[in-house]
Amino acid sequence: MRTSKEYLEKLAKMRPNIYLDGECIGRDHPKVVAASKSIQKTFDLANDDHYGKWLTTTSHISGKPINRFCHIHQSVDDLLMKQEMTRVLCNLVGGCIQRCMGTDSMNGLSVATKNADLKYGTNYHERWLKYLEYFQENDLVGAASQTDAKGDRSKRPAEQDDPDMYLRVVERREDGVVVRGAKLHNTMAPYCDELLVFPTRMLGKNEKDYAIAFAVPADTEGVYLIARQAFSPTREPGMEAPYTELADIESMTVFDNVFVPNERIFLNGETDIGGQLALLFALFHRHSYCGCKPGIGDVMLGTTALLADYNGVEKTGHTQEKLADVISVVELVYAAGIAASVKSTKAPSGTQVPNVIYCNVGRRHAGHNVYHEYDILCDIAGGLPGTLPMTKEYNNPVIGDFVRKYTKRRTGVSEEDHYRAYHLASDILTGEVGAVLLVAGVHGGGSPIMEDIAIMSTYDIKAKKNLAKFLAGIKQD
């Protein structure tokens, strides 16, 4: 297993292909290093006496100790530990831990490659197992690259005026393929080792060029990472806080005639498996959200309760009702993830696959309530998070005393503690990272309509109708 130092050293050696603030930068750029701090913790805490129990496990193929973010789930306990680990780590950093992208991609690939081999006699799973061994041995960070630009949403991939609106194979060679297109919304792609690329939707039989899944190093020739940053507001020395380390860089990842060798291709033209793989990643990722969203919900709940306490309104009926609302969302989502683990099934590959209904119900509940959680924090905090003077004013010798005096609320709590609590609320409600987490809370892992489709296409409504007929005394066929 690697250390964060080794992780950063490898990033620094990669070819510069990140475009940020109008410049092409390397992975040793201070903004990239800062954004990767959440990922760094997944390495450093693996040997920690407290966090190591979540972050380490044993590889099912080598028998060696590995980071859990490189693991393929083999049991109900694996799924439960992954969910619990995600919540614990999201608490620690105050937001998204980010590295679950690779975990969920690799688990989806483990199932889909085996299914393709069983149906078509291909050798994708053997290729993928060799890649998995490399992935685990080098403790790699993978970034899911799934969502295509999609172009005209009324048209299928093969119907687009510009066929590059979905990533596709443009040339097939004896030693591999050449692909062109773009994948959007790629969290942490600028500081990953590998891009894990696969379809975004169900595909028709005439869309074989779009049924492609592969892995390439993130600095491969022809790959352009067009980035957007989200950082917490800078604080003056002495006023730093753990939440201020939370940062994120997203990527529009362009593949401009990128060559992919055969040994890194895990699907190539099998359209039905391509659609299956798209759903599998979403399923595993929505299970991760059943740990992630409760973890971020804990942060929202704690901040809301802290400000209610400092304002002297924590025990009012109005506040208690709102805190109960947040608790209900957080714990029901987490409970759905537990149910999805306990009700999981074993795929032919040996991978433990979470239950479709409970995963999607949990993710749907989280997405439908994320704005409500922000609304509750905003209500309890009042308007100050939007107008709070920043730390330069707090430390200013002329007006600093005024800032400290007029941010204070309740006797028994220091001026600095009041200010820090409000600054945290300000970062969450008005900062770049808080805004990104809000949108990701709705659309991460697939837009809400996809959860509805997954639920309605899987749930046995006919059985419920038959139940109603029985209770009504209606004779059944």
User: pLDDT value at position 449?
Assistant: 86
CATH 1.20.140.10, applies to 275-467: yes
User: pLDDT value at position 448?
Assistant: 85
Are the C-beta atoms of 223 and 406 separated by less than 8 Å?
Answer: no
User: pLDDT value at position 303?
Assistant: 97
CA dihedral of 126, 195, 58, 42, whole degrees rounded to 10: 180
Q: For the chain, give every domain's residue range.
A: 275-467
What is the DSSP code (8-state) at residue 194? E
The number of helices, as runs of H, and strands, as runs of E, in the chain is 17, 14
Question: HSE on the CB side for 408, CA within 13 Å?
Answer: 13
Beta bridge partners of residue 353, listed in sequence order: 345
Are the C-beta atoms of 103 and 82 separated by less than 8 Å?
Answer: yes
Give the separation between CA 305 and CA 311, rounded to whole angstroms.
10
From residue 333, alpha-carbon distances to 2, 95, 116 in Å are: 32, 16, 32
Give the separation between CA 334 and CA 83, rounded to whole angstroms.
8
Give the separation between CA 107 and CA 94, rounded to whole angstroms.
26
User: pLDDT value at position 346?
Assistant: 98
User: pLDDT value at position 202?
Assistant: 94
Are the C-beta atoms of 212 and 168 separated by less than 8 Å?
Answer: yes
Are the C-beta atoms of 7 and 39 separated by less than 8 Å?
Answer: yes
Q: pLDDT tens-digit profile of 81-131?
A: 999 999 999 999 999 999 999 999 999 999 999 999 999 999 999 999 999
User: pLDDT value at position 7?
Assistant: 98
Q: Spell out the residues 6+ positions from residue 102 whose beta carbon is closer than 8 angstroms to its own.
A: 69, 70, 140, 141, 142, 143, 144, 192, 194, 196
Q: pLDDT tens-digit profile of 260-269?
A: 999 999 999 9
Q: pLDDT tens-digit profile of 384-434?
A: 999 999 999 999 999 999 999 999 999 999 999 999 999 999 999 999 999
User: What's the first-to-final CA gap in the chain, in angstroms?
Assistant: 60
Per-residue pLDDT band for 233 (boundaries 50, 70, 90) equals confident
What is the residue-averaged pLDDT of the chain? 96
Per DSSP, the three-state class of 342 is helix
- Asked if the model's pLDDT at residue 462 lies above 80, the reply is yes
Q: What percent of the chain has pLDDT over 70?
A: 100
Report the alpha-carbon angle 341-350-116, nearest 5. 115
Phi, psi (degrees; rounded to nearest 5) at 287: -65, -40
Q: Spell out the residues 6+ positions from residue 75 whose beta carbon is closer than 8 angstroms to its own.
A: 352
Q: pLDDT tens-digit profile of 157-204?
A: 999 999 999 999 999 999 999 999 999 999 999 999 999 999 999 999
